[in-house]
Amino acid sequence: MARQCEITGKSTQIGGRYSNRTRATQFNPVGKVRRKANLQKRRIYVPELKKTIIVDTSVKGLKTIKKNGAFATLKKAGVI
């Protein structure tokens, strides 16, 4: 399975590597870089279910859980 947030759906993105100043010079190394999402493996206790669920989520997903509550967020994401 791909490295993807279970809450927000974030995954890797492909982008450029060098700044605009480097592009303007004659020495122009080109290439793409894969930027990975900031994924964390967390154990989240859901009081409504009275059990702990292990979730591989991004930090933005953790903020969403803190804001909306564990049960509502995980249910909307389809984890539980």
Ordered by start, the domain boundaries in the chain are 13-77
Q: What is the pLDDT of residue 40?
A: 94
Structure tokens at 5: 């947030």
Q: What superfamily in CATH does domain 13-77 come from?
A: Ribosomal protein L28/L24 (2.30.170.40)
pTM, to two decimals: 0.77
Q: Looking at residues 39-51, what average pLDDT do you find? A: 96
User: What letter represents residue 4's amino acid?
Assistant: Q
Helix (H) or strand (E) holding 63: helix 59-68
Over the stretch 30-43, which tens digit does the pLDDT of each residue have? 678 899 999 999 99
Contact partners, residue 70, CB within 8 Å, separation at least 6: 44, 45, 46, 47
What would the pLDDT profile of 51-80 be if each residue is shown by its tens digit? Answer: 999 999 999 999 999 999 999 999 999 998
Q: How far, rounded to the nearest angstrom, does the alpha carbon of residue 44 sit from its chain's CA centroid?
A: 16
Distance of CA 80 to the CA centre of its chain: 19
How far apart are the two ends of the chain, measured CA to CA in Å?
18
At residue 2, the pLDDT reads 75
